[in-house]
Structure 1
Amino acid sequence: MKRHQHKNNHRHIHIGVAAGLLLGARLACAAEPLPEPIPAADPAAQGEAVLASVTVTATRRSASLQSVPLAVSVVNGDQLELANRTSIDTVVQEIPSAAFRQQGGNKDSTLFVRGIGTISTSPGVEPTVSTVVDGVVYARPGQATIDLLDIDRIEVLRGPQGTLFGKNASSGVLNIVSHTPSEQLAGYVDASAWTGHEKRVRAGVSGALQPGVLRASINAAYADYDGNVKNVHAGGGQVNGHERRGVRGRLDITPNADTDIALIADYLKSESSPTQTAYKQTSAPFAQALLPAVAGAENRQVNFDLPNAIDDTNKGISAQVNWRRNGYTLTSITAWRAWDNTQHTTTSPIGNSAEASRITGAYPATRDIGTLEFTQASQELRIASPRIALPTLGAFDALTVDYVAGLFYLHGKDRETYRRIVTTGVTTAATNSGRADYGVESDSYSAFGEGTLHIGPAWRVIAGARWTRDELDYDHVRTSTQGTAFAGVQPGTQSAGGTTSNDWSGRIGLQHDFSPTATAYATFSRGYKGPAYNVFFNMLPRDTLALAPETSNSFELGVKTSAFNRRLTANVALFRTEYANYQANFYDTVAGAIVTRLVNAGDVSTRGVELDVTARPTPQLTFTGAFAWTDAQVDAFNCPPSAAASCNLNGKTLPFAPRFKGFLRGGYNVPLASGHEVNLNLDYTYQSRTQFDLFQSPDTIQPGYGIVNAAIELAQPAAGWRVALVGKNLANKSYATNLVTGTGYVHRGVPRDDSRYFGITARKEF
């Protein structure tokens, strides 16, 4: 069906969603109260030499990390703040199975898990790794490039998670959980200052407005960084930096013991200048155009008369209602989000009239201006059961079952404008341009459920499925000052289309407890990612056909153990996942210009082993280690018809998939007689060589490297303050987060910690 046939239905659905939430809240307020369970004391919280229990919501209900039959990485929000890992691109340094692709601004960035991710800027393509913040699914990959504010923990669910988290989780889920407001009035202010003119300030207050009934919190943050790339053009200054401002408010309402309601609103404004530097030049004219900057592996200079500028606004509201009755919990999550993005980017080294001799037809100056307006509305209804006793079945006399089931709906609407200005000289006639106006509307409906059959105290059978219906429509119009293709601009065209798809994902598995401290599981999962359109500036008539949905089959074996009276935990997972109709960007050449073609690339697979270890041999000493060996490769590549580029990719490594990646952290606490304490932290990240190009360019390989960070902190817990000195990349190792080839050059993504730097952080709680 086409979009116009659904507009009235969409309005009715949105009104129904809101009415359902209000009705659910009213029913919840009328429920009879039930007594709250009393939590058991955690020995770790009492200073004993044991590891603290970690609670996750990876199964859509709270459970111990050591008990869930999933491979999950958990990182602590406070620890990330101390390490200056305050955005998703830096968080992945602590998660060996994850990687982050950044090229240009937020719109062009995406997450990878186990070597699988989506490389496309098209609004008609959904991510392969889902981002969920406090239960709300983010529909577009660029929304996930958020500044971390008021974060309690981040859970990274590895492998297909489509049963409980939806179709855009066919490779994994980034599940972000914020702090809940406290009952007692409390607040904090923390600040950090770093070499390179970087600073960050956060403040928050939390407490009860009406004891036992209303609790609220509000947190705000400001961050500013000049950047670590110098623009040597006159008046250019520093680039590759950012300025971020954000606020997040939460109101928790507990009208009775059976009901709790969480209302959340957030707003984040970001202005950044992401810049790639010349890593290698393969032509003399390009080298001349760079001067006085010189291409190289450690180059941090550019020569731009118009530096990149990205303005990004991310905001949203959500309401979650939990109603408990007779052991069941009914959850409703209603959310609305908006994402606005404006990009001013350049692909030329320089382009002013004083140096026009550097601008030629072969090396033109290009200016890209893009705007994006995206909104989404979603509704999830979910029920979680208690353990239910089943009738005796033969030899099985202690059967129980619990389950999670629900319905989900998401509507997304995207409108974009993109303009490219191409200059080949100083005269007016030497300037041409193209403009595209396009958009996508999507609707996704699904019903899901997963149950666990408990066979006695030690055996469990897990089974679940999710049915999804996708409706996707697009429109696209491009105009051009030329009737034929020229540098980076295709001739004028227009098209529109729509597609629908019905498919399923699911999971089945077996779990066995060998002892109270050791469990093992084996699962098979089927993932599904919906149909797609390659809607972008240079869209051609050949791109008007919808891509088929991407599906995956995954096998995983895992063991989770603890030993030495909870002084050591070790979790290992072995996996193999095979993807069919893999949706990937194919770089092709048309009229002498490189264009992207989103295609069903064929079959790819990923396999490997992951190990997470935590040890606390004494109350003062803690070690954490995470390691991943991943083999992600192309199995059978489908070459598009009339492709100009080579398709000999079978057996080649997928991009952003290092074979080995590891993370180690050690922490030591020294209590002092004065009541103060000293905390020492040291961490090390290593990853092996990484190919950034699907087409295996020898110029886009990042050799293996390791990064060393350290911190020393002085704290007075009784007074609620701490101050720390932090050193980043102490070995001063330069590396690339992305390498991109072009005509005559290779560009490098420059990370924040591309060289050694230091900072001071301070926090006061009250």
Structure 2
Amino acid sequence: MTSHRTAKRCLGAVSFAGKPNPLILGITLALFSTLAAAADEDKADAAPAKAEGDSSLATVTVTAERRATDVQKTAVAVSAIGESQLQERGVHTLADLAGQAAGLTLPSPYLNQQYVFIRGIGNSRPAGNPSVGVYIDDVYIARQFGNAFANLPDIERIEVLRGPQGSLYGQNTSSGAIKIISRDPSDAFHGSLDVAGGNLGTVETKAHVSGALVPNILSASLAVAHRRNDGYFHNDTLDKDVNRFDTSQARAKLLFKPNDQLRFDLAVDEADDNSDNAVGTPINRGLSDRHTLAGWDTRTDQKNGGISLRASDELDDHLTLKSITAWRRIKDDQPWDSDGLPISEGIFKFQQYINQRQFSQEFQLLGDYGNFDFVTGATAFREHFNFDRVTSTKAGSNWQVTRSWNEKESYGVFGQLHYKVTDAFGITGGLRYSREQHTLDADAYASDAHRDLLARQFSVEGIDQRNHAVTPKLTLDYTFQPGLFTYFTIAKGETSGGWNPAPAGSLALATVPIDPEEVISYEWGVKSTAFDNRVQNNIALFYNDYRNYQTNLTNPTINNNVVLGSVLTNVDKAHTYGAELETSIRFTPALQTNFSVSYLRTKFDQFLKSGTTAADYTGNELPFAPHLTLNANAVYDIRVPGGDLRLNGTAKYSSKYYSGPENTYATPAQTLVDLGGFYTPSGSQLTFSLTVKNLFDRTYETPSVYSYSYNTQRQWLAGVRYDF
């Protein structure tokens, strides 16, 4: 066993337990094609221009560094999922991004909110600060409540940035960021209408229209979507299907361009969510898979959305000034049933009420002077987060009301400059200074089934925590040839601190501060294009060193105070390391494949901080960090009688991973296969589709303290799309 673990720790190991290591095999093939790129690029300069219908891969443009760049020449580990890929792979929520990008883990069972982990780091408490920032059109989404929706038909692409992004994106991007980018309105009138239905009572409708209101000056777009199903669990107590999805969304955009230098983008979006909070199958009750006895109706009543105004002014040929002003809010009434039992037997159930509002302002100045380019700016962010919870324990005989009022103010200045020392060699330096203040008012009361406020248990007012951070970044990049680019980055990231937003009736818990989580990251990457741009390989090796890692502890003693319950707090030291490979191959104009593999190892180096007493998990693995993930996708276009057929297939594998630092409960290894077919009759604006997720109807059981959760069974969806 010791030698097995030693072998797995070695990134250079060729096999694990006698089996071929798919990561090393993949990297070996990638390096082979990378070396072949040298010979290939020498010939490319003399090659004639390519005809239409050739086998070259398309150029992918990303904005990971706040400006449009070719992904193959960007010194960031970034994956981009385009509009057609989102449609063909059935991406309706963030959870559907699983298997679409290396290093990305999406473990949440809740359909309307998603925990996001990149390279083993994230946050599984939606009320806490995330370690992966989610952005919609450059506007930061502060909380994981309601972050899961990605179903609107105007989404142009989603970018997944891996590794700390502190210098350009600030705090709460210590392990990466997800950028959801919607399409701008256009002068040309066009649109689409989608209608689909499937098993589990699934119904989906989507529509998008865009066009000019005043030609060449003012254009607008509107996107709407509704998706619902009947649920994939059956509640034997309530005699109905539960764990259902029911969401409506809309986004309207205006683009005003009074001249060629100046533009204003106004966007308004809203989501109305009545999905169920997921319930599980209670342990030791002999129930079949995906059956529950939960006594509460866990239907949510959530509304979230906002308004943003982006302004851009090209001051001259070299400088552009940008402003992003945004206001967003979440109002949510959420029932949670953690044990899956009837009310008369319930162990832990609660109802929480959320009222969150945020305002943000960002200014950017971008410059491009040939040998060097830069982006610099300033940010301001303010959030009000009111969080009330009514908890029922001991079969409904014990009730408690906890309330908290959280405020956060954050300010930052940043800059990043890239200088080309030579045509091949470049240096990037970035730096951000951030200052934030968290203020908490909270109280707790004994209560009853009517939720009356009875005896007060504690009250605190005006306690605050202030932090400041400096997050630098240094990158060296070198272009050996047009098809061979490499970089090395050292960067620091940070996740905000603050307070437990849901203090469970304990003065000690309410006054336990959460320190910012810090990481120093080292990353080496190679991006290659070979065989006349038919093959692209992107490799990243990384090591992350964490301090004040944020996690949950149960009943710890902190500064001589016993804190009962689950407590979000800090542990001392942890590290992660691994490797990622993403490969795209265009075999013919009709056939393209994409493949990714991620290898990850994590460890708590020193679990308990000074002054903290609890179970010591030093040496354990970090939660939500699978050792190995594999993803493969193929798209094949076929000319058939009467039209064109596109076939899309995806296979995803994830090794097991733990859901807590104690390494007791594990999500098992999973293999899932999805298929899709899209038929367009010749000369028609219609596209008929049939997609199937979990083709082989695999069932995977994940245990927790009180219940089991399961993945969704096989789902099929048949639809038609009309483009005009």
Q: TM-score surpassing 0.5?
A: yes
Q: Decide which of 689, 710, 723 is 1:750's aligned counterpart.
A: 710
| CA drift at 1:510 | 0.4
Partner residue, 1:659 = 627
Task: Please list, as runs of the form range in 1=range in 2, the aligned pairs for 1:234-383 lying within 5 A after superposition.
Answer: 235-278=238-281, 280-281=283-284, 287=285, 294-295=286-287, 299-326=289-316, 327-351=318-342, 359=344, 363-364=345-346, 367-383=349-365
Partner residue, 1:27 = none
* 5+ residue gaps, structure 1: 1-42, 282-286, 288-293, 353-358, 389-399, 425-429, 483-488
Distance 1:158 1:507 in 2: 14
Distance 1:447 1:335 in 2: 18
Alignment CA distance shift 1:349-1:331 (3 Å): closer
Alignment CA distance shift 1:689-1:101 (3 Å): closer
Mapped contact 2:372–2:418 kept (Cα < 8 A): yes
Deviations 1:719-748 (A, max 9, x none): 222112222212221125x54214xxxx23
Partner residue, 1:731 = 696
Q: Decide which of 402, 414, 419 is 1:448's aligned counterpart.
A: 414
Alignment CA distance shift 1:519-1:219 (3 Å): same
Distance 1:547 1:179 in 2: 38
Aligned to 1:719, what secondary structure does the other structure show?
coil
Partner residue, 1:492 = 457
Alignment CA distance shift 1:508-1:563 (3 Å): same
Partner residue, 1:116 = 121
Distance 1:517 1:147 in 2: 33
Q: Decide which of 216, 219, 232 is 2:220's aligned counterpart.
A: 216
Distance 2:50 2:717 in 1: 30
Structure 2 residue 389 is the aligned partner of structure 1 residue 418: yes
Partner residue, 1:462 = 428
| CA drift at 1:78 | 3.0
Structure 2 residue 523 is the aligned partner of structure 1 residue 564: no
Task: Please list, as runs of the form range in 1=range in 2, the aligned pairs for 1:591-610 lying within 5 A after superposition.
Answer: 595-610=565-580
Structure 2 residue 405 is the aligned partner of structure 1 residue 439: yes
Mapped contact 2:508–2:562 kept (Cα < 8 A): no
Output the amino acid matched with 2:227: A
Deviations 1:102-153 (A, max 9, x none): 256756x42111000123344xx42110011101011112242224312111
Output the amino acid matched with 2:366: A
| CA drift at 1:702 | 2.5
Partner residue, 1:91 = 97
Deviations 1:179-210 (A, max 9, x none): 11122111110122111111111011101111
Distance 2:51 2:384 in 1: 47
| CA drift at 1:467 | 0.1
Alignment CA distance shift 1:418-1:723 (3 Å): same
| CA drift at 1:524 | 0.2
Structure 2 residue 100 is the aligned partner of structure 1 residue 140: no
Output the amino acid matched with 1:217: S
Distance 1:592 1:467 in 2: 36
Structure 2 residue 551 is the aligned partner of structure 1 residue 552: no
| CA drift at 1:578 | 0.8
Identical-pair percentage: 26
Alignment CA distance shift 1:186-1:603 (3 Å): same
Mapped contact 2:292–2:341 kept (Cα < 8 A): no
Distance 2:197 2:81 in 1: 23
Distance 2:682 2:66 in 1: 34
Aligned to 1:501, what secondary structure does the other structure show?
strand
Q: Decide which of 607, 617, 630 is 2:600's aligned counterpart.
A: 630
Distance 2:348 2:584 in 1: 51
Structure 2 residue 151 is the aligned partner of structure 1 residue 193: no
Deviations 1:529-580 (A, max 9, x none): 2222113140522230322222110000000010111111100000001110
Partner residue, 1:503 = 469
Distance 2:144 2:50 in 1: 37
Alignment CA distance shift 1:481-1:212 (3 Å): closer
Q: Decide which of 50, 59, 63 is 1:53's aligned counterpart.
A: 59
Structure 2 residue 721 is the aligned partner of structure 1 residue 763: yes
Distance 1:507 1:669 in 2: 43
Structure 2 residue 493 is the aligned partner of structure 1 residue 527: yes
State the Cα RMSD in Å.
2.4
Deviations 1:635-658 (A, max 9, x none): 110168574x521x1221111110
| CA drift at 1:443 | 0.5
Mapped contact 2:151–2:225 kept (Cα < 8 A): no
Distance 2:506 2:219 in 1: 54
Deviations 1:381-426 (A, max 9, x none): 00110125xxxxxxxxxxx2211000000000011211123464xx
| CA drift at 1:592 | 13
Aligned to 2:660, what secondary structure does the other structure show?
coil
Task: Compare 531-540 and 246-255 and name the one that shifted more.
Answer: 531-540
Q: TM-score, normalised by structure 1?
A: 0.83
Alignment CA distance shift 1:377-1:583 (3 Å): same
Aligned to 1:80, what secondary structure does the other structure show?
helix
Output the amino acid matched with 1:181: P
Task: Compare 712-721 and 431-440 and name the one that shifted more.
Answer: 712-721
Distance 1:657 1:96 in 2: 13
Partner residue, 1:29 = none
| CA drift at 1:716 | 3.6
Alignment CA distance shift 1:573-1:174 (3 Å): same
Output the amino acid matched with 1:668: Y
Mapped contact 1:236–1:305 kept (Cα < 8 A): no
Distance 1:277 1:452 in 2: 50
- Paired residues in the alignment total 664
Partner residue, 1:386 = 368
Distance 1:78 1:717 in 2: 19
Structure 2 residue 617 is the aligned partner of structure 1 residue 613: no
